[in-house]
Structure 1
Amino acid sequence: MRSTLARALPAVLVTSCLLATAACADNTSTGAAANGTGQSAALAAAARKEALATAGGKKIGGKVTMLGINGGAEGQLIKNALKPFTDATGIQVDYTGNEDLATVVQTRVQAGNAPDVVDAADLGSVLKYAKQGKLVDLGSLIGTSTLKSNYPQSLLDATTVNGKTYGIFTEIDNFMVWYDPKTYKGPKNPSSWAQLETFTKQQAAAGKTPWCMAQNAGAGSGWPGAQWIENWFLKHYGAAKLTDWAQGRLSWTSPEVTAAWKAFGAVATDDKMVAGGPTSVLSASVVNNGTGLVSSPPTCSVMLWGVYAGGVTLGQKPSLKPGTDLDFFPVPAGSPAHADDELFSGHVAYAFNSNPRTRALMKYWASAPAQTMLVASGQWTEANTRIPASAYTNPLLKKASQQMLTGKNLVAGPSMYSAPAVVAAFDKGVVSYIQKPGSLNGILAGIQRTATTG
């Protein structure tokens, strides 16, 4: 996990995930180096070979500027994956992470000093700059056939404008229902949302709180609820409707969006449905979102959250084992027609400048060897379908990758497409709704005004 849904996660959450590596990883499966990075000499050699090929077998030299959303420990892992590129090509990659990435990039673009490459956590920015004619067509830069052989078509479609592809995904997250295999008594692969809902209502009626939920993330409080709402919407109304909502063709006040929020509210605002009741949901840190699943005794049975939940939860309780103490199943659909629609978030890289150095870097960053370097850290799932399954040292990430990139229609929601102000309004709206369930119509109208005014 690097970030999710167009924003960087709180530093404490990032730290928890990094600390979870020891609990989740089996480094022997990839011949990892003793330095603890999870990146073996063999993987680095393969990455150098790929990098040299992207540069036409030449030591090009010079420098490329790259701005991203991640700094700190996660930023260092990105730099580690870029090092073989520099070693092989002589091209220095000046990578800088900044949580306020959208503002920094916009300022530089307006000043006529755009970075060569941006590694963003949203789709809105790449589509905006592509429509303005400011970005490089990656089909011509990398090769359309190469892109198609390395990525699911749905991911390429997400960054395509007027038939040209302007972004390539690296880290990618999906969402699932988490549980503790030792204590969970419900359906482990429910055929429908109704089946899961029936179980949770039965649990509540028996006095056993079914859902884990936490929303407190400081200024970003509410974003796990936004994920919950988008997942429910997709699984009940499908990919086309979600894309309409995400891109502003379906109003925030529409019956479909309202229904998704009410489905969330039926859980989040009910004392019997969420551990600790709504007050606890609002005060509990997102870092502790899943700890109730693995507590003794457990305080809840299921949690809808992202692929990074394994690292976060096991980071809180490092003695537990993935798969044995914590596992997941796909978010069930409201109807079979939407079973293969999968909500995702992630990182998308795009280029403002076309020159031999940028071309080599983008080819490298899109390649399986480069993304395998990132996978081997034990923290992230990556989008390139040619990454070998053996590269995943974390069994939960391996399972998530296989489920996500095999036969799924990957779809992004409003949190990936919308402007930062709309995403912030979405998150805050979740908190306001839990506080005052009767205010839903006003909350949705307010978000719609924000989306309309830009």
Structure 2
Amino acid sequence: MRSSLRTRRSSRDSEYRPHQWPHNQPHNRSRRTTTAIAAAIAAGSLLLTACGGSDDDKSSNNGGGAKESAGTVTLPKLNGESLEVAAVWTGAEQKNFKAVLAEFEKRTGAKITFVPAQDPIINFLGSKIAGGSPPDVAMLPQPGAIKQAVDKKWAKPLGPEALKELQKNYSQGWQDIGKVGGKQYGVYYKAANKSLIWYNAKVFENAGAKEPKTWKDLLSTAQSVYDSGVTPFSVPGADGWPLTDWFENIYLSQAGPEKYDQLAQHKIKWTDPSVKDALTTLAEVWGKKDFVAGGAKGALQTEFPASVTQTFTGGDQPKAAMVFEGDFVQVNITQTKAKVGTDAKVFPFPAVGAQAPVVSGGDAAVILKDSKASQALATFLASPDAATIQAKLGGYLSPNKNVDNSAYPNAVQQKIAKALIAAGDDFRFDMSDQAPQAFGGTPGKGEWKDLQDFLKNPKDIAGAQAKLESDAAAAYGS
């Protein structure tokens, strides 16, 4: 179960190349670009750790800071119309999205049914379509899934009103990753910054630990935390996707953006020395059993939600001091008594090489049944009105540049959101979200399984590389 990530995983398409940059330029931006993004994230994320129980925090789940908007987007009356919206979101994430759908119902008179989808969602949609009952709109977690839905002639282009709203509120880069063949199919309603490490502030204070800026510093910090009596890291090994995110952040920082793009396209093999270097670095954490809560065996039995909660329960003696994952971690933190910005703080994933990594992801609304109602919903989801509702509820990040930053319920989220918007069109999309489903997006198979096996035996770097390459070659057809 990946209840609060759904920035992710659906079917992959090996022919699609979301490594391309906006405006159809090759994904070969210089390290200077990556530096600028990293600086923006760092400026936001590091500053936020100085925030305690300020006024920015006091409305953690009630919307606080921003006024309720009267509505900036005009929607048609849809009395009597019914819509189905499918997504893999569960728990608090699903609940919060339903609040957005309820506002659409209130404004239009339409009735919306949320359809819980199974993962991978492309397979789920295929079965619904084969049965003659596709949802009207689906939330697809990566660009390859949009491409596949278009290739299968499931997806419908956005109409003029939705396009107008999208163009008004989104940078060109976020528009472009929702395009296929020059046509706009996706509205990236939800984004993620997946280069963050969250930590228990009390543990750090007791250990005299400081927020690290480099990988070497991270290892030193982890040792200080261990010496104070707390296991440093919580790793959700039962879910393969967080393990891919660990690898991607290390690889992007250590090997650089050009190599990252090449590996994402399988233009270089997983037996490349750069992969060996990244796995060797990763093993400096995964291979030290005292650094991982429960050791490898325990980590492989820990799912993502539990990896977060066990970091922020138990006061200053939790099962682990740190957990790596994106901004969406806040959804799970709110299930504990920890307060984001005071008890739970965050720092950017440290630089392994010359620059700190910045890995992004997102979920796009795609129309499967073209109608006045489905186009109106896409228009609404492209508006700041919709994003503001979910922003207030926490655990959510929007690429919509016209969402007032004060809508985010605490200083932590405000800084992360500001950094995302400041990054503009310059971002690297999650590597495994660019891979074919069989390799980068299937539980118990491909990269997920290979990295779980590596977590179990981090000494076998050559074996992990060989298995990764074998599975990648089969999935990419090369």
Indicate whether the TM-score tops 0.5.
yes
* Mapping 1:17-416, distance limit 5 Å: 38=63, 43=68, 46-47=70-71, 50=73, 53-55=74-76, 58-59=77-78, 61-71=80-90, 74-100=93-119, 101-110=121-130, 114-132=134-152, 134-138=154-158, 140=160, 142-143=162-163, 146-175=165-194, 176-179=196-199, 180=201, 182-183=205-206, 185-188=208-211, 190=213, 192-197=214-219, 199-200=220-221, 203=224, 211-217=232-238, 221-290=239-308, 291-292=310-311, 295-297=315-317, 302-313=322-333, 315-316=335-336, 318=337, 320-336=338-354, 338-339=355-356, 342-407=358-423, 409-416=426-433
User: Identity of aligned pairs, percent?
Assistant: 23
SS at match of 2:423: coil
The alignment of Structure 1 onto Structure 2 pairs a total of residues equal to: 420
Query: Is the Cα–Cα contact under 8 Å of residues 64 and 407 in structure 2 kept in the other structure?
Result: no
Structure 1 residue 366, shift from structure 2 partner = 1.1
- Give the partner amino acid of 1:279: K
Unaligned runs of 5+ in 2: 11-51
- Give the partner amino acid of 1:328: V
Unaligned runs of 5+ in 1: 9-22
SS at match of 1:230: helix
Pair 1:243–1:211, CA change in 2 (3 A):
farther
1:3 alignment partner in structure 2: 5
SS at match of 2:393: coil
1:13 alignment partner in structure 2: none
Counterparts of 1:122 and 1:24 in 2: how far apart (Å)? 36
SS at match of 1:182: helix
Counterparts of 1:24 and 1:207 in 2: how far apart (Å)? 25
Query: Is the Cα–Cα contact under 8 Å of residues 119 and 348 in structure 1 kept in the other structure?
Result: yes
| 1:428 partnered with 2:449 | yes
- Between stretches 403-412 and 241-250, larger displacement belongs to 241-250
Pair 1:312–1:183, CA change in 2 (3 A):
farther
Residue by residue, what CA displacement relative to the aligned partner does 1:61-81 show, whole Å, maximum 9, x if unpaired?
Answer: 523332222356543432221
SS at match of 1:360: helix
Counterparts of 1:342 and 1:107 in 2: how far apart (Å)? 35
Counterparts of 1:2 and 1:301 in 2: how far apart (Å)? 20
Counterparts of 1:292 and 1:223 in 2: how far apart (Å)? 19
- Between stretches 293-302 and 366-375, larger displacement belongs to 293-302
- Give the partner amino acid of 2:376: A
- Give the partner amino acid of 2:107: A
Question: Alpha carbon RMSD of aligned pairs, Å?
Answer: 3.8
Structure 1 residue 119, shift from structure 2 partner = 1.0
Counterparts of 1:362 and 1:167 in 2: how far apart (Å)? 9
Residue by residue, what CA displacement relative to the aligned partner does 1:228-263 show, whole Å, maximum 9, x if unpaired?
Answer: 111112223344543443344444333333432332
Residue by residue, what CA displacement relative to the aligned partner does 1:390-414 show, whole Å, maximum 9, x if unpaired?
Answer: 2112443223222233226332223
1:447 alignment partner in structure 2: 471
Structure 1 residue 349, shift from structure 2 partner = 1.0
- Give the partner amino acid of 2:452: V
Query: Is the Cα–Cα contact under 8 Å of residues 275 and 299 in structure 1 kept in the other structure?
Result: yes
SS at match of 1:93: strand
Pair 1:276–1:109, CA change in 2 (3 A):
closer
Pair 1:280–1:170, CA change in 2 (3 A):
same
Query: Is the Cα–Cα contact under 8 Å of residues 130 and 161 in structure 1 kept in the other structure?
Result: yes
Pair 1:147–1:256, CA change in 2 (3 A):
farther
SS at match of 2:340: coil
Query: Is the Cα–Cα contact under 8 Å of residues 289 and 313 in structure 1 kept in the other structure?
Result: no
- Give the partner amino acid of 2:326: G
Query: Is the Cα–Cα contact under 8 Å of residues 25 and 378 in structure 1 kept in the other structure?
Result: no
Counterparts of 1:99 and 1:280 in 2: how far apart (Å)? 26
Query: Is the Cα–Cα contact under 8 Å of residues 170 and 383 in structure 1 kept in the other structure?
Result: yes
Structure 1 residue 184, shift from structure 2 partner = 5.7
SS at match of 1:349: strand
Pair 1:204–1:143, CA change in 2 (3 A):
closer
Pair 1:92–1:302, CA change in 2 (3 A):
closer
Counterparts of 2:398 and 2:282 in 1: how far apart (Å)? 29
When normalised by structure 2's length, the TM-score is 0.74
Counterparts of 2:9 and 2:433 in 1: how far apart (Å)? 9
